[in-house]
Structure 1
Amino acid sequence: MTDNQNQPRDYDAVLGGQSPPPVDGVVLGGIEGIKRCLSNPVTQVRIAALSEALKYGDAGLDVLIQALQDKSRLVQRFAYRLLKQQAEPQVKQALQTYKPWNLEERLNEYQGYNVTQFANRQVVEFDANTSITEPLNKAYALRYWPYENEDNLPSKFSRLLQESNADKLEALVFGLWEEEAYERNSSGIIEALVDAKQYLTNLKAVFIGDIISDECEISWIQQSDISPILQAYPKLEILQIRGGDGLQFSPPIRHDRLKALIVETGGLSRDTVAQICQMNLRALEHLELWFGSEDYGGNCWIEDIHPILFEEKFPNLTYLGLRNSQFTDEIVSLIVNSPVIDYISVLDLSMGTLSDAGAEELLNCSAINNLDILNISENFLSQAIIEKFSELDVRVLANNQNKEEYDSYIHSRYCSVSE
């Protein structure tokens, strides 16, 4: 793209006054008018200005590249979508450093093993032979091993807090906390973590419940009220929970830095979803919910996620994962008419019950082409419909499709993780 003059031209309106243009109006004053609008506090005004930027050659590209750093995720995403279509070297370089979403580990297939990666960090087991050597780049895991002669989890945690660089530690993983996790909930771990806030002053990522099926089935894991963690750790950016039984987020909750909330369950209560929808998480970029089976407490339905899709509860979302659901087709029917599809980068519907009929609704939604990634793995799709998705200008993940079991005594389609 060659440079055009920065002056107003034949198709420009005349710059006048200090009032911002209407949201759907013409940007005044050429490239200088666009730059002026980008200082406007109204997000939609800044987006309207960017829509004119490509008319101004390299100067317009520079404006779009700068907009990748805008305080609004919506403005960033709009600039990103325009730049993706350009081939100039400076654009390619800018897009290499800009990451609209950076938790690729969440696209990995759920294997039912203890995590080896968490919060973009390698997980290291903390035990009697371990010390904290890389507090920033590693996530340290504490867990109770029922078949080995080791310390219990509370004593391991106490020893971790005595490490000289515990105050620099950024990521913690808590696994099995008792030999029979289905009888005792996570409240003891939550309380211990809250009491340790004066030691873990740099904590940014926590996973409560890295428990595998050999230790306790996911639907049997007894969780508790998680909200004290959010109150105790204002720097927290990633919170991951496994297990939905007893899970609560007692309102009111406000957290200004939490970027990712991940809830993995074999059955998610609609009461828990309602509490999540009441949370004030203005920085949230990644919301991932595993709904699970009605046979294991999963009583959610489409009306329970309506606030997420239509009320812009979390306006900075980049990733939306509505996973492991028995009503994926119904979710799709809502999403294709929802404003959320216009600003997220990643839509994850994996591990669910998406059928060819639901997939056709996605294909008929033009906004799907604005996504970077669409994950529809582990559903119930035919090869013919998957081939249609390959025609989209989107990275589509469609691995490990299931076949309907018409003779099943429960359902012909089922979510991947339940008990």
Structure 2
Amino acid sequence: MTDNQNQPRNYDAVLGGQSPPPVYGVVLGGIEGVKNCLSNPVIEVRIAALSEALKYGDAGLDVVRQALQDESKLVRRFAYRLLQHRVEPQVIQALQAYKPWNLEERLNEYQGDNVTQFANRQVVEFDTNIGITEPTNKAYALRCGYDENEEDLPSQLSRLLQEPNAHKLEALVLGLWAEAYERDSSEIVQALVDAKQYLTNLKAIFFGDIIGDECEISWIQQSDISPILQAYPKLEILQVRGGDGLQFSLPVQHNHLKALIVETGGLSRDTVAQICQMNLPALEHLELWFGREDYGGDCWIEDIHPILFEEKFPNLTYLGLRNSQFTDEIANAIVSSPIINSISVLDLSMGTLSDAGAEELLNCQAISYLDILNVSESFLSQEVIEKLSTLDVRVLVNNQKQEDEDGYIHSRYCSVAE
């Protein structure tokens, strides 16, 4: 007789009542008991049920696949870990549809060039002769040139707003504005705020796609960016380059922002404090480039404690604490932080991570539950790189740096400063 996998087996306890099982206890009642537990409001109970589900063949496999859609990020991640090495076609299809984090472009090496990809879209230069032909599939870029006769950025924005498809545009890249090394960005911020009635579907903004040949990253004069968040309630991605003068005047409340990316050669502790006080309930991707003290980067480990220990952004999937002069201290803190148990991607690249900091990560069991660990452009030995390669995690270790006697701290330096 064919074994009915939906019925309790010899090794199953019998489901006695409707009370939830003890957390991490034995799941009672076969596959039906597993299903009952997966409707339990306690996250730990649902995770315990998933750990039992695969005992029940295809029926259990279907249950785990369905858990990829669970309302809890922790349950979804646990289901993903159970399925990631399976080869069944239905599992492969489910995993392809499952995207715990979808900004893979952020793992690309920083080359100092204008972006060609933003918000999962190809970036194209806005041309009035062509117009906006693909408002949802491409990001359109506006830039000011060196020639005094060229249109300034507000004028270019005004032309873009006249396009019939402007109201459909989803992604916008703003590059160099006139004399960005002397004039702050407040005029551009205001122009963008004034455009809100036209750009009604805008979901992604890169503010400051300026390369070194135009203006060094630490020379870019930024300003208060928070009016952009207030003007665009549908915004999902905000990327800003340049830390000098950068502010997010409080209070800031935005219910739909999923990604906040701040690229600097020197990020002030005051700006970090403002970010920590922002109310961003939907935030999944937080990426901060700290830079060097010489260029205004006066942050230290205590300044990011609210992010690591106070669950300021409970829905984070990606945490990027990059381009830092205190990466070892970050590694030491994060292994004892509750956030390490909930994120899928930890990005410590471009900083000063040494073998000692990497050993802290290796000795943390929760690191093995990450999907991606990025420690590219660090100061790791081949021996430690080989240890990291044994983790059941996608580990990025590209372009390790060599210590420099003229470097900032103990001959180690962050990748982007001036």
TM-based fold match above 0.5: yes
- For residue 135 of structure 1, what is the aligned residue in structure 2? 135
Structure 1: gaps of 5 or more residues: none
**Inter-partner Cα distance in structure 2 for 1:216 and 1:3:** 70
Letter matched to residue 8 of structure 2: P
- For residue 104 of structure 1, what is the aligned residue in structure 2? 104
Letter matched to residue 329 of structure 2: E
Deviation for aligned residue 1:7: 2.7
Query: Secondary structure at the residue paired with 1:218?
Result: coil
Q: Which shows bigger deviation, 129-138 or 41-50?
A: 41-50
Deviation for aligned residue 1:130: 3.5
Deviation for aligned residue 1:174: 0.6
Letter matched to residue 140 of structure 2: Y
- For residue 159 of structure 1, what is the aligned residue in structure 2? 159
**Inter-partner Cα distance in structure 2 for 1:94 and 1:407:** 51
Deviation for aligned residue 1:54: 1.9
- For residue 237 of structure 1, what is the aligned residue in structure 2? 236
Contact in 1 for aligned 2:128/2:160 (Cα 8 Å): no
1:151-181 Cα offsets, whole Å, 9 max, x none, are: 2111111111111111110000011121x11
Contact in 1 for aligned 2:325/2:409 (Cα 8 Å): no
Contact in 2 for aligned 1:47/1:78 (Cα 8 Å): yes
**Inter-partner Cα distance in structure 2 for 1:409 and 1:324:** 13
* TM-score calculated relative to the size of structure 1: 0.94
Q: 1:111 to 1:53 in 2, by over 3 A?
A: same
- For residue 308 of structure 2, what is the aligned residue in structure 1? 309
Deviation for aligned residue 1:332: 0.5
**Inter-partner Cα distance in structure 2 for 1:56 and 1:187:** 61
**Inter-partner Cα distance in structure 2 for 1:223 and 1:175:** 12
Contact in 2 for aligned 1:72/1:316 (Cα 8 Å): no
Letter matched to residue 394 of structure 1: V
Deviation for aligned residue 1:17: 4.8
Instruction: Map residues 318-333 of structure 1 onto 2, 5 A cutoff.
Output: 318-333=317-332
- For residue 219 of structure 1, what is the aligned residue in structure 2? 218
Contact in 1 for aligned 2:261/2:286 (Cα 8 Å): yes
- For residue 199 of structure 1, what is the aligned residue in structure 2? 198
Query: Secondary structure at the residue paired with 2:69?
Result: coil
**Inter-partner Cα distance in structure 1 for 2:198 and 2:28:** 54
Structure 2: gaps of 5 or more residues: none
- For residue 276 of structure 1, what is the aligned residue in structure 2? 275
Q: Which shows bigger deviation, 401-410 or 167-176?
A: 401-410
Q: 1:410 to 1:274 in 2, by over 3 A?
A: closer
Q: 1:21 to 1:412 in 2, by over 3 A?
A: same
Letter matched to residue 289 of structure 2: W
Instruction: Map residues 63-78 of structure 1 onto 2, 5 A cutoff.
Output: 63-78=63-78
Q: What count of residue pairs does the alignment treat as equivalent?
A: 417
Instruction: Map residues 46-65 of structure 1 onto 2, 5 A cutoff.
Output: 46-65=46-65
Deviation for aligned residue 1:11: 4.4
**Inter-partner Cα distance in structure 1 for 2:231 and 2:132:** 22
**Inter-partner Cα distance in structure 1 for 2:398 and 2:240:** 25
Contact in 2 for aligned 1:347/1:374 (Cα 8 Å): yes
Contact in 1 for aligned 2:316/2:343 (Cα 8 Å): yes
Query: Secondary structure at the residue paired with 2:322?
Result: strand
Deviation for aligned residue 1:342: 2.0
* TM-score calculated relative to the size of structure 2: 0.94
- For residue 121 of structure 1, what is the aligned residue in structure 2? 121
Letter matched to residue 315 of structure 2: N
Contact in 2 for aligned 1:351/1:416 (Cα 8 Å): yes
Query: Secondary structure at the residue paired with 1:52?
Result: helix
1:185-205 Cα offsets, whole Å, 9 max, x none, are: 111122121221121111110
**Inter-partner Cα distance in structure 2 for 1:126 and 1:157:** 10
Q: Which shows bigger deviation, 243-252 or 6-15?
A: 6-15
Identity value in percent: 82
Q: Which shows bigger deviation, 36-45 or 295-304?
A: 36-45
**Inter-partner Cα distance in structure 2 for 1:98 and 1:265:** 32
Deviation for aligned residue 1:397: 1.4
Query: Secondary structure at the residue paired with 2:404?
Result: coil
Q: 1:3 to 1:346 in 2, by over 3 A?
A: farther
Letter matched to residue 92 of structure 1: I
1:293-341 Cα offsets, whole Å, 9 max, x none, are: 0111111111111121222222222211110000011110111222222
Letter matched to residue 259 of structure 1: K
Q: Which shows bigger deviation, 87-96 or 106-115?
A: 87-96
Q: 1:194 to 1:21 in 2, by over 3 A?
A: farther
Letter matched to residue 69 of structure 1: Q
Residue 344 (structure 2) pairs with residue 345 (structure 1) = yes
Letter matched to residue 286 of structure 1: H
Q: Which shows bigger deviation, 16-25 or 252-261?
A: 16-25
Q: 1:65 to 1:117 in 2, by over 3 A?
A: same
Q: 1:320 to 1:30 in 2, by over 3 A?
A: same
Deviation for aligned residue 1:268: 0.8
**Inter-partner Cα distance in structure 1 for 2:155 and 2:369:** 49
Query: Secondary structure at the residue paired with 1:393?
Result: coil
**Inter-partner Cα distance in structure 1 for 2:230 and 2:277:** 15
Q: Which shows bigger deviation, 153-162 or 224-233?
A: 224-233
**Inter-partner Cα distance in structure 2 for 1:408 and 1:39:** 55
**Inter-partner Cα distance in structure 2 for 1:235 and 1:409:** 41
Query: Secondary structure at the residue paired with 2:74?
Result: helix
**Inter-partner Cα distance in structure 2 for 1:63 and 1:306:** 38
Q: 1:129 to 1:366 in 2, by over 3 A?
A: same
Query: Secondary structure at the residue paired with 1:182?
Result: coil
Deviation for aligned residue 1:48: 3.1
Query: Secondary structure at the residue paired with 1:159?
Result: helix
1:15-55 Cα offsets, whole Å, 9 max, x none, are: 45544444444434332233233333443333333232222
- For residue 369 of structure 2, what is the aligned residue in structure 1? 370
- For residue 336 of structure 1, what is the aligned residue in structure 2? 335
Query: Secondary structure at the residue paired with 1:239?
Result: strand
**Inter-partner Cα distance in structure 1 for 2:162 and 2:3:** 60
